[in-house]
Chains A and B, each alone.
Chain A
Amino acid sequence: MPEKGIINTKQFVWMLFIIITTLAAMQIPSMLIMQAGRDAWLSVVSAWFLDVMLALVYAYMGIRFPGENFVQYSITILGKYLGRMVGILFPLFFLLVCSLMLQGLSQVVNTIFLPMTPFNVILVSSFLVSAFIGRKGLEVIARMTEVLGPLFFFSIVTVCCLVLPAVHMERLKPQLDEGIAPFLIGTPLMLTSFGVCIIMAMYIPLCNRPENGFLAKFSAVSMGALVVGLVTALSVGIFGIEDAQYMNSPGLQLAKMINFSNYLERVEMVWLLILVGSGIVASSSLLWAFGQGLAQIVGLKTYQPLIYPGALLSLVFCIGSFPSSLNQTNFFHYTFPIVAAFVETGLELFLFATALVLNKRGAA
């Protein structure tokens, strides 16, 4: 096995949490509000429920094929050639998510921190750092998230508490104004970005207690759903749906609303720093998953030399496909959910069904 590191369940939870939340907390709430209006938080809840259901499948597959991640068990299930063709979709998907994530974060950094710095400089430096971390292996990533994760969680919760005085409850009412259709449509949107934590299948074989996979995912998704739900509901309660749906990053705008006794204000940068830091670590674990998956498909001894090339490939994706933040938002809103639904749900359920039908099991 290329990766030698072992992670524990706590680290597992924080890693999943960071990946879900950095991807979802920045841009998703506004898209969700666009779809579901005031009921956006309901979409978060239902997506949370569906994702937990999906996690059951992943956790079960992790136990059915002990010591194997989906890249490996797709080979076990589907055979040498078809299995590899299917298996490679997962690493590529992670690479795509990595592009999306770092593009979004760099865009925010460019708008808020460094408006005059060329965008590409920020993009390249964030890719560089995340590849640097990714190359150090899963253990390092896990330990970093162990420090950053709680910090991130509490910073979001703090931000939410500090902006509570600005909330107008009547902006959240009435609920289910347009019936249940909007929030049902919002659910898949949310589900697909929660679904990035299918990366859990990469971690399960490396966890010191693989049977805790479901528990870890459950805690991570619950925390993530809490955070995203809070951000979404507060955005509606503060900005109203008309403004919130077109915000590039409602979370950031929320932090900008902090005005605590007239002294603690303009502190959104501190929050943003933590967010960007977590995002970079999260994308480094995506890069790691790419390298690890690819190395397993081809059967390499080590994945480390693949991290920097992977980061470079992801960077090229970024530059080629998302020349602007509008492009990225558009992709994130309309194309990504389809791709993600295909990979996260479709492929995995397909593998699951095939494994059941062919009665394949992992070598215990």
Chain B
Amino acid sequence: MRKLALILVCISLLTTGCWDYQEVDRLATVLALGIDRIPGSKNVLLTVQIGKPEGKGSSKQIGGQGGEKSYIIMNSEGKSLSEAILSIGKQSTRRVVLSHCKTAVLGRDLAEMGIGEILDDLKRARESRRTNWILTTDKTAKEIIEKDISLEQLPGRGLDHILQNFKKAGRVVPMNFNDFFARLNGESHVSFTPLAQLEDIDKQVTNQLEKVVGRSLDTEEKPKTLTIGKTAVFKNLRMVGVLNEDDTRAHKWLVDSPKGSSITLAYAPQAQTNGDKGDIMFEIEDGQTTITPHISEEGITMNIECTTKVLIHELGATGVNVLDPKVVAQLELQTAEAMKLQLEHTINTAQKELKSDCVGFAENLHNYYPLEWKQIKDNWDDVFPTVDYQIFCKVKILSSGTISNPTLRSEPE
């Protein structure tokens, strides 16, 4: 009797179910998401990139060259992000799922007007993940989402790959939702994201070549290329500025670690005071930056200590003799100086230009001087530009690649 009842319950459960059942070919898988503000209104313009499954009929081709693209773009508008997401349903025959969307791109207008309203949705939505990447652009997110990335069938995944690579090596700190939120919630309320740009690299190259050759080159018109090399800084939910590429690199040394980055040194041996400068490039194999705050009567001082281990990547035509320990020591010193200069420039930009603590001074102060911090906390924005800092850089050259000295020396003048 009891078993019969159990069976009945099971059957009734089985026959009435299937609320969430959804065939996989009735879904539109979003790969990347672009959010723009419609100028002059509060409305959000959403651009989504949806992977298009290649049916058995259609021919499979790579990267949409000549053939069809393997993704489609859809746009929708709404008062808020979730409303915009829902209203994609108006044009899509398939249910939109966001669980595979790994990248969200913020348009510049939106970022500058404030992102507070969309953040809640990004945190709350079931399908949103805190490991997703966040990007900002200097123009509109729509362009970035619509952009093909060469070699990639699905540009949305291409963006993911670029940012994944940054995690291992790169000049930019990739930002996932979690760190972005956590930094915004942090003591300084300053956060940052990588900045995606569309650059006409081909045009630039052609122009330069044309100057050299002196005539117009007969090259094909190529589309713009997506590059990620700068950093957008957010303060109190608003984008306040951009760090240029050099500052971005030094910014990475400060807030993440110098590891995986590179540094170029304009080398000038002291013996040859005139000329024969050459560029030497180092790859930073390992490194660490520690910021130690120090409060004294004079004020707040930040001791920034940056130790790196580098590999010689390129000696160029400098003609240095790296087999000479003295030269190596000198190289190390000069590199440290170059790093210091770069760091100083970056901190200066943050203090004077952006007036936002994107270098993490506030966190360190809070950690080291919790009591004092409570007093500074409220007027930190005013204090930050005046904070003094000292930079100590230390560079250790580990190896020189597969050869030691450059074999081809530049001709003496």
Q: Do chains A and B touch in the complex (CB under 8 A)?
A: yes
Binding site for B on A (CB under 8 A): 111-118, 121, 125, 128, 132, 166, 168, 170-171, 173-174, 177, 238-240, 242-243, 253, 256-257, 259, 262, 265-266
**The residue from B17, B123, B130, B366 contacting A174, defined by CB atoms under 8 A apart:** B366
B158: shortest Cβ distance to chain A, in Å? 14
Give the complex CA separation of A39 and B19 in angstroms: 43
- Decide yes or no whether B181 CB sits under 8 A from chain A: yes
- Decide yes or no whether B185 CB sits under 8 A from chain A: yes
In the complex, the answer to whether A240 meets B126 with C-beta atoms within 8 Å is no
Q: B161-202: contact bitstring with A at CB < 8 Å (1 yes, 0 no)? A: 000100000000000001101100110000000000000000
A248: shortest Cβ distance to chain B, in Å? 10
Chain A residues with CB under 8 A of B130:
239, 253, 256-257
Nearest-CB residue, chain A, relative to B367: A173
**The residue from B20, B129, B178 contacting A115, defined by CB atoms under 8 A apart:** B20
Nearest-CB residue, chain B, relative to A308: B2
In the complex, the answer to whether A115 meets B126 with C-beta atoms within 8 Å is yes
Chain A residues with CB under 8 A of B164:
262
Chain B residues with CB under 8 A of A128:
9
Please name the 3 residue pairs, one residue from A and one from B, whose CB atoms are nearest each other, closest first: A242-B185, A240-B182, A117-B19
In the complex, the answer to whether B178 meets A238 with C-beta atoms within 8 Å is yes
A-B contact pairs, 14 of them (CB 8 A): A112-B126, A116-B19, A116-B20, A125-B13, A128-B9, A168-B182, A170-B367, A171-B182, A171-B186, A174-B368, A242-B185, A243-B181, A243-B182, A256-B129
B120: shortest Cβ distance to chain A, in Å? 11
Nearest-CB residue, chain B, relative to A176: B370
Give the complex CA separation of A259 and B126 in angstroms: 17
Binding site for A on B (CB under 8 A): 6, 9, 13, 16-17, 19-20, 99, 123, 126, 129-131, 164, 178-179, 181-182, 185-186, 363-364, 366-368, 370
Nearest-CB residue, chain A, relative to B186: A240
Known contacts A121-B13, A243-B185; 6 additional CB pairs below 8 A are: A113-B20, A116-B20, A168-B182, A170-B363, A171-B182, A265-B131
**The residue from A118, A238, A259 contacting B19, defined by CB atoms under 8 A apart:** A118
Give the complex CA separation of A100 and B34 in angstroms: 40
When A116-B19, A117-B19 are in contact, do A239 and B182 touch as well, CB less than 8 Å? yes
The majority secondary structure among interface residues of chain B is: helix
Nearest-CB residue, chain A, relative to B22: A116
**The residue from A171, A243, A265 contacting B123, defined by CB atoms under 8 A apart:** A243
Give the complex CA separation of A121 and B19 in angstroms: 10
Chain A residues with CB under 8 A of B19:
114, 116-118, 121
Nearest-CB residue, chain B, relative to A175: B370
Chain A residues with CB under 8 A of B368:
174
When A174-B366, A174-B370 are in contact, do A240 and B185 touch as well, CB less than 8 Å? yes
A198: shortest Cβ distance to chain B, in Å? 31
Chain A residues with CB under 8 A of B178:
166, 238-239, 257
Give the complex CA separation of A166 and B13 in angstroms: 41
Give the complex CA separation of A242 and B368 in angstroms: 20
Give the complex CA separation of A191 and B9 in angstroms: 39
Give the complex CA separation of A253 and B124 in angstroms: 11
Chain A residues with CB under 8 A of B16:
121
A225: shortest Cβ distance to chain B, in Å? 26
In the complex, the answer to whether B129 meets A132 with C-beta atoms within 8 Å is no
Give the complex CA separation of A332 and B79 in angstroms: 35
**The residue from B20, B129, B363 contacting A266, defined by CB atoms under 8 A apart:** B129
Give the complex CA separation of A259 and B19 in angstroms: 30
In the complex, the answer to whether B131 meets A257 with C-beta atoms within 8 Å is yes
Nearest-CB residue, chain B, relative to A247: B123
In the complex, the answer to whether B17 meets A121 with C-beta atoms within 8 Å is yes
A294: shortest Cβ distance to chain B, in Å? 20
B16: shortest Cβ distance to chain A, in Å? 8
Give the complex CA separation of A112 and B123 in angstroms: 14
**The residue from A111, A114, A125, A253 contacting B20, defined by CB atoms under 8 A apart:** A114
B365: shortest Cβ distance to chain A, in Å? 10
When A128-B9, A256-B130, A257-B130 are in contact, do A117 and B367 touch as well, CB less than 8 Å? no
In the complex, the answer to whether B185 meets A266 with C-beta atoms within 8 Å is no
When A111-B126, A243-B123 are in contact, do A266 and B99 touch as well, CB less than 8 Å? yes
Give the complex CA separation of A242 and B191 in angstroms: 15
In the complex, the answer to whether B370 meets A177 with C-beta atoms within 8 Å is yes
Nearest-CB residue, chain A, relative to B164: A262
Give the complex CA separation of A128 and B5 in angstroms: 12
Nearest-CB residue, chain A, relative to B131: A259
> Which of B123, B178, B370 is the most central at the interface, judged by chain A CB atoms within 10 Å of its CB?
B178
Chain A residues with CB under 8 A of B129:
256, 266
Nearest-CB residue, chain B, relative to A268: B129
Chain A residues with CB under 8 A of B99:
266
Chain B residues with CB under 8 A of A116:
19-20
Chain A residues with CB under 8 A of B123:
243
In the complex, the answer to whether B181 meets A117 with C-beta atoms within 8 Å is no
Give the complex CA separation of A262 and B366 in angstroms: 34
B30: shortest Cβ distance to chain A, in Å? 14
Chain B residues with CB under 8 A of A239:
130, 178, 181-182
Chain A residues with CB under 8 A of B364:
170
In the complex, the answer to whether B131 meets A256 with C-beta atoms within 8 Å is yes
B14: shortest Cβ distance to chain A, in Å? 11
B201: shortest Cβ distance to chain A, in Å? 27
B178: shortest Cβ distance to chain A, in Å? 6
Nearest-CB residue, chain A, relative to B99: A266
Give the complex CA separation of A128 and B99 in angstroms: 31
Chain B residues with CB under 8 A of A171:
182, 186
